[in-house]
């Protein structure tokens, strides 16, 4: 009886609240309404969700589990008529690919005015590295090793997204990636678990800000759970097979870090893992995510992933696929519409317990309450905020600074960079010299190239290059193959005649990476290598600087010898040209370091610094050791590598003790000196090797880093603290703990160039 009354009171409250709110224009947010100070008038979201659930029919509850696309990108701001009817009938809980306050308002009104229970929709979108102000692609941002700035970048992304009506981003992508063929490496933080975990947490903090109740926050979605980055042969969506130990040691920690940082949602991955598609994987969703980690949010599938179980071959039909997904712990169905079609009958037939549906709907409704959508379904829909908060000069400046900090200087000889103050003629050549379109990268979703700055524009407008004459020539396309002697290359080479310096803008076009963009060849596409060679042949004495725009580590072996300087700029975002010009001119001294190894050739892939030693470690003098006949095992550029315009010298690591107990800590200190002539920043790195374990351990693992700034001649002692928990791993018994024994500590400017000391853990 009491229940009924409570439910009725709740229903009345909803009926009163929503039509009134619908008529009102959103009022400006008061300070005490945002962030963690936001208090819903429904009180505890769990209890509110429970009472609402009691009012809902089975279909309405299943409706909450249904996520559909609005087709914004394809058809403009419209919705298929069937979707509109579904919303009105309470058969849709969330919509994605719809943003902009006017459009979102229309959709929200459909739900709030026309559906029986007036439950607001949730609006999600792929806000991966910026919404309108596009930041460098995530792998590029990771190369800044600047956790604070990465968080700040995603805060800006959240402010813009929320100001355009979004509640939820499908980010961060926290997949560890060791295979540059995979097009989605651009979307993650690279190959390292420790760094990837810090970056995962920072992004969640950035997106969710002071709490998802803040009108300027969006819910984060850690994806793609799990092990999607280990697709066989680097081919997108391909099978994944790995030991539980590797899964737990290498691939899961960034997801755990996202959970600990409070990520509101998770997305399942497309791949299978140990024969079970992730979307129906009880081990991942129930055992690890919910039971071990205590995740309280909801899990959405990736796009049509439930339907794809038919192709995986683990479900005979859609109904069975839907049943497997919900029973494994998936809450929301993205775009398969299988839950909404089949769950009602599956429940009625007793194949799926009603409790499973209730639990999923409850998890989703709780987030809607926490977002404040029941207090005011239009609270993120303020035209004033949309106007004021998007593509602001401050956001663009942050993006420009990040673009400069994401660049990695891979080679710099004959002092080719920074560009000399006295240059009079600069030849800017190549397919990406004036390619604003490509600068924002393949996952820029709502980003528009009309706002982005090409390298040409950035250089031409840079104050440091005032008065310089530019000789511009595209020469060739990114991809179109052209023999070296054909006109495009000749034109490009001729155009550089008389230049003091030649800047080549090369790389991949933006659609060559991101989703469904794996490559079986990771060299510069088309005839770009020929262009570089022809340029070098004609101008042996003119400095040649190559600037690379691309989404993955490339095989640069045949480029390296033909250029004096090589700057990896990735896809730098809206402010690409300005940020890269800051680096080329020396207005910013580059400090980026690679977070994925660059192989010597594709045959070395997968290649990563934290490999195992094997029983026959590489020895060039001995035939029967683990190596190639044609190239050494090490990469062309190792993890952690990146040059500066100044030089840093490193002392040997000093340990506070040579042995430590399980409950103790140990300090590792290293003195770093700026031995060059410019102010610069350096990422000081700490690696550890566990020399003997109950299972084999990597030859080194990143355990700490510090980004420092040093004036010429200045030194700083950088200290790291190590505790037993930093040395823990999954032992032979699959227990996560450190084992006693000897550890090698290594410090240095990258993973290959290190000095070592040893200690024992008692």
Residues carrying an active site annotation: 302
Distance, in Å, from the CA atom of 150 to the CA atom of 135, rounded to the nearest integer, reads 10
Judge contact between 266 and 311, C-beta under 8 A. Answer: no
Question: Which of residues 302, 529, 530, 582 is near ligand NOJ by CB under 6 A?
Answer: 302
Distance, in Å, from the CA atom of 595 to the CA atom of 751, rounded to the nearest integer, reads 10
Distance, in Å, from the CA atom of 101 to the CA atom of 581, rounded to the nearest integer, reads 35
Nearest distance from residue 515's CB to ligand NOJ, in Å? 5
Token reading at 118: 């007036």
Q: Which residues inside 547-586 make contact with ligand NOJ, applying CB under 6 A?
A: none
Judge contact between 125 and 161, C-beta under 8 A. Answer: yes
What's the burial of 463, exposed, middle or buried (CB within 10 Å: 0-12/13-18/19+)? exposed
Nearest to ligand NOJ of 145, 225 (CB atom): 225
Nearest distance from residue 109's CB to ligand NOJ, in Å? 24
Report DSSP letters for 168-233, one per residue: EE---B------TTSGGGGGS--S-HHHHHHHHHHHHHHHHTT-TTSTT--B-EEEEETTGGG-GG
Helix spans in 383-448 (H) = 383-389, 393-406, 436-439
Distance, in Å, from the CA atom of 172 to the CA atom of 180, rounded to the nearest integer, reads 19
Nearest to ligand NOJ of 477, 515 (CB atom): 515
| Three-state secondary structure call for residue 332 | strand
Distance, in Å, from the CA atom of 519 to the CA atom of 479, rounded to the nearest integer, reads 13
Beta bridge pairs of residue 649: 673
Distance, in Å, from the CA atom of 580 to the CA atom of 578, rounded to the nearest integer, reads 6
Q: Tell me the pairing of strands 736-737 and 729-730.
A: antiparallel
Nearest to ligand NOJ of 223, 367 (CB atom): 223
Nearest distance from residue 353's CB to ligand NOJ, in Å? 29
Nearest distance from residue 74's CB to ligand NOJ, in Å? 13
682 binds ligand NOJ (CB under 6 A): no
167 binds ligand NOJ (CB under 6 A): no
Distance, in Å, from the CA atom of 740 to the CA atom of 762, rounded to the nearest integer, reads 5
**Omega of the bond leading into 172 within 30 degrees of 0 (cis):** yes
Nearest to ligand NOJ of 173, 531 (CB atom): 173
Nearest to ligand NOJ of 126, 151 (CB atom): 126
Other CB atoms within 10 Å distance of the CB of residue 269:
27
Token reading at 29: 């947010």
Nearest to ligand NOJ of 255, 705 (CB atom): 255
Residue number with the smallest Cβ distance to ligand NOJ: 170
Nearest to ligand NOJ of 223, 510 (CB atom): 223
Q: Which residues inside 348-377 make contact with ligand NOJ, applying CB under 6 A?
A: none
Nearest distance from residue 333's CB to ligand NOJ, in Å? 13
Q: Print the binding letters for residues 253-292 with ligand NOJ: x by CB under 6 A, - otherwise.
A: ----------------------------------------
| Three-state secondary structure call for residue 555 | coil
Nearest to ligand NOJ of 266, 570 (CB atom): 266
Token reading at 595: 């977070």
Q: Tell me the pairing of strands 665-674 and 715-723.
A: antiparallel
Nearest to ligand NOJ of 265, 674 (CB atom): 265
* Cα-to-chain-centroid distance, residue 132: 17
Q: Tell me the pairing of strands 168-169 and 122-125.
A: parallel
Phi (first) and psi of residue 211, to 5 degrees: 135, 155
Nearest distance from residue 223's CB to ligand NOJ, in Å? 6
Nearest distance from residue 303's CB to ligand NOJ, in Å? 4
303 binds ligand NOJ (CB under 6 A): yes
Provide the CB-side half-sphere exposure for 231 (13 A, CA): 24
Distance, in Å, from the CA atom of 498 to the CA atom of 762, rounded to the nearest integer, reads 67
Q: Which residues inside 582-641 make contact with ligand NOJ, applying CB under 6 A?
A: none
Q: Which residues inside 514-553 make contact with ligand NOJ, applying CB under 6 A?
A: 515
Nearest to ligand NOJ of 267, 594 (CB atom): 267
Nearest to ligand NOJ of 303, 470 (CB atom): 303
223 binds ligand NOJ (CB under 6 A): yes
Distance, in Å, from the CA atom of 249 to the CA atom of 265, rounded to the nearest integer, reads 22
Q: Tell me the pairing of strands 272-273 and 408-412.
A: unpaired
Nearest distance from residue 66's CB to ligand NOJ, in Å? 15
Nearest distance from residue 131's CB to ligand NOJ, in Å? 14
Nearest to ligand NOJ of 224, 368 (CB atom): 224
Nearest distance from residue 161's CB to ligand NOJ, in Å? 13
Distance, in Å, from the CA atom of 241 to the CA atom of 251, rounded to the nearest integer, reads 12
Q: Print the binding letters for residues 492-521 with ligand NOJ: x by CB under 6 A, - otherwise.
A: -----------------------x------
405 binds ligand NOJ (CB under 6 A): no
> Measured on CA atoms in the order 21, 25, 30, 36, is the torsion positive or negative?
positive
Nearest distance from residue 164's CB to ligand NOJ, in Å? 16
Nearest distance from residue 327's CB to ligand NOJ, in Å? 23
- Total number of residues binding ligand NOJ (CB under 6 A)? 6
Residues 6+ away with beta carbon under 8 Å from 163? 216, 380, 382, 385, 386, 388, 389, 390
Judge contact between 11 and 55, C-beta under 8 A. Answer: yes
Q: Which residues inside 112-131 make contact with ligand NOJ, applying CB under 6 A?
A: 126
Question: Which of residues 10, 38, 42, 170 is near ligand NOJ by CB under 6 A?
Answer: 170
* Site residues (vs ligand NOJ, CB under 6 A): 126, 170, 223, 302-303, 515
């Amino acid at each position: 009886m009491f229940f009924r009354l409570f439910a009725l009171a709740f229903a009345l409250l909803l009926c009163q609240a929503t039509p009134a709110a619908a008529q009102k224009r959103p009022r400006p947010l008061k300070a005490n309404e945002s962030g963690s100070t936001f208090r819903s008038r429904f009180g505890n979201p769990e209890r509110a969700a429970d009472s609402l659930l009691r009012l809902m029919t089975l279909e309405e509850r299943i409706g909450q589990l249904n996520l559909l696309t609005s087709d914004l990108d394809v058809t403009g701001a419209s919705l298929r008529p069937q979707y509109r009817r579904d919303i009105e009938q309470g058969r849709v809980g969330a919509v994605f690919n719809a943003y902009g306050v006017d459009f979102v308002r229309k959709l929200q009104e459909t739900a709030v005015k026309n559906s029986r229970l007036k439950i607001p929709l949730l609006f999600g979108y792929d806000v991966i590295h910026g919404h309108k102000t596009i930041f460098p692609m995530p792998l590029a941002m990771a190369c800044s090793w600047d956790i604070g700035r990465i968080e700040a970048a995603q805060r800006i992304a959240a402010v813009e997204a929320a100001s355009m009506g979004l509640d939820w981003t499908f980010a961060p992508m926290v997949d560890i990636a060791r295979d540059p063929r995979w097009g989605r490496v651009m979307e993650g933080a690279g190959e390292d678990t420790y760094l990837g975990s810090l970056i995962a947490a920072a992004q969640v903090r950035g997106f969710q800000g002071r709490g998802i109740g803040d009108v300027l926050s969006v819910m984060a979605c850690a994806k793609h759970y799990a092990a999607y980055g280990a697709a066989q042969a680097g081919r997108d969506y391909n099978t994944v097979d790995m030991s539980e130990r590797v899964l737990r040691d290498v691939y899961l920690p960034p997801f755990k870090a996202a959970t600990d940082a409070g990520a509101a949602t998770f997305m399942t991955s497309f791949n299978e893992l140990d024969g079970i598609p992730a979307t129906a994987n009880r081990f991942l969703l129930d055992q690890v995510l919910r039971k071990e980690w205590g995740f309280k949010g909801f899990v959405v599938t990736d796009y049509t992933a439930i339907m794809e179980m038919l192709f995986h071959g683990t479900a005979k039909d859609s109904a069975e696929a839907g049943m497997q997904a919900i029973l494994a712990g998936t809450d929301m169905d993205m775009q398969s519409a299988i839950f909404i079609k089949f769950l009602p009958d599956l429940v009625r037939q007793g194949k799926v317990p009603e409790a499973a549906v209730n639990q999923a709907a409850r998890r989703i409704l709780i987030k809607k309450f926490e977002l404040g959508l029941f207090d005011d379904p239009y609270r993120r829909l303020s035209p004033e905020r949309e106007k004021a908060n998007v593509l602001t000069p401050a956001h663009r400046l942050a993006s420009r600074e990040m673009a400069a900090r994401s660049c990695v200087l891979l080679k710099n000889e004959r002092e080719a960079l920074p560009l000399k103050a006295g240059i009079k003629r600069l030849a800017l050549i190549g397919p990406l010299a004036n390619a604003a379109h490509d600068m924002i990268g393949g996952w820029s979703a709502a980003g528009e190239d009309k706002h982005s700055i090409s390298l040409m524009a950035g250089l031409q407008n840079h104050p440091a290059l005032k008065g310089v004459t530019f000789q511009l020539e595209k020469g060739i396309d990114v991809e179109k193959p052209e023999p070296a002697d054909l006109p495009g290359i000749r034109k490009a080479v001729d155009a550089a005649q008389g230049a003091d310096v030649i800047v080549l803008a090369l790389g991949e076009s933006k659609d060559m990476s991101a989703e469904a963009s794996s490559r079986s060849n990771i060299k510069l596409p088309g005839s770009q290598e020929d262009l570089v060679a022809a340029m070098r042949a004609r101008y042996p004495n003119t400095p040649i600087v190559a600037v690379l725009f691309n989404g993955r580590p490339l095989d640069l072996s045949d480029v390296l010898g033909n250029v004096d300087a090589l700057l990896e700029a990735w896809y730098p975002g809206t402010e690409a040209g300005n940020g890269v010009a800051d680096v080329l001119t020396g207005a910013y001294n580059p400090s980026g370091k690679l977070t994925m190894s660059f192989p010597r050739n594709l045959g070395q892939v997968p290649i990563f610094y934290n490999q195992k030693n094997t029983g026959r470690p590489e020895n060039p003098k001995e035939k029967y050791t683990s190596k190639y006949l044609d190239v050494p095992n090490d990469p062309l550029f190792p993890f952690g590598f990146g040059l500066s315009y100044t030089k840093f010298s490193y002392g040997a690591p000093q340990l506070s003790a040579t042995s430590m107990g399980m409950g103790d800590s140990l300090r590792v200190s290293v003195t770093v000196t700026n031995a060059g002539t410019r102010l610069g920043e350096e990422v000081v790195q700490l690696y550890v090797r566990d020399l003997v374990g109950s299972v084999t351990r990597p030859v080194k693992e990143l355990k700490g880093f510090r980004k420092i700034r040093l004036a010429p001649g200045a030194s700083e002692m950088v200290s790291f603290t190590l505790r037993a928990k930093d040395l823990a791993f999954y032992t032979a018994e699959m227990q996560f703990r450190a084992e006693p024994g000897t550890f090698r500590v290594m410090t240095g400017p990258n993973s290959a160039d290190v000095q070592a000391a040893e200690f024992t853990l008692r």
